Amino acid sequence: MNNNHARSELAKVTFTYDDTQRSEEIIALKTLVFSILRNLPHDTAINTIKTIEKNHQNPVLNSLCKEMVDAMISTMSVNTED
């Protein structure tokens, strides 16, 4: 395994989208991200989102991070057995 990490400001990736399906693609991507996060341990998922939010000055990305945290909180199972 290579331990060399690319700095985020140097890693450039380009994605395409279809204007006629743009909203569906955005929802599908959000669902994919949420599904991945929900399969991580809770603390790891929250810390991952906080790290992304802290390391980027992008309001749209920060809004997505907040949306993911809100979704995780709203789908958490609450143990009411005491």
Query: Quick check: is 33 in a domain?
Result: no
Instruction: Tell me the three state secondary structure of residue 49.
Output: helix
Tens digits of residue pLDDT in 29-81: 999 999 999 999 988 998 899 898 888 888 999 999 999 989 888 887 655 55
Q: Is residue 32 part of a domain?
A: no
pTM beyond cutoff 0.75: no
Distance of CA 67 to the CA centre of its chain: 9
Instruction: Locate all alpha helices (DSSP H) within the chain, ordered by sequence.
Output: 22-38, 42-55, 59-74
Judge whether 25 lies within some domain. no
Please tell me what DSSP assigns to residue 72.
Answer: H
- CA angle 23–31–22, rounded 5-degree value: 15
Is 28 among the domain residues? no
Q: Identify whether 20 is part of a domain.
A: no
Query: What pLDDT is attached to residue 56?
Result: 83
Please, are residues 51 and 35 in contact by the beta-carbon 8 Å criterion? no
Number of domains, the chain = 1
- The answer to whether position 15 is within a domain reads no
Task: Indicate whether 62 belongs to any domain.
Answer: yes
Give the domain range for residue 62.
42-76
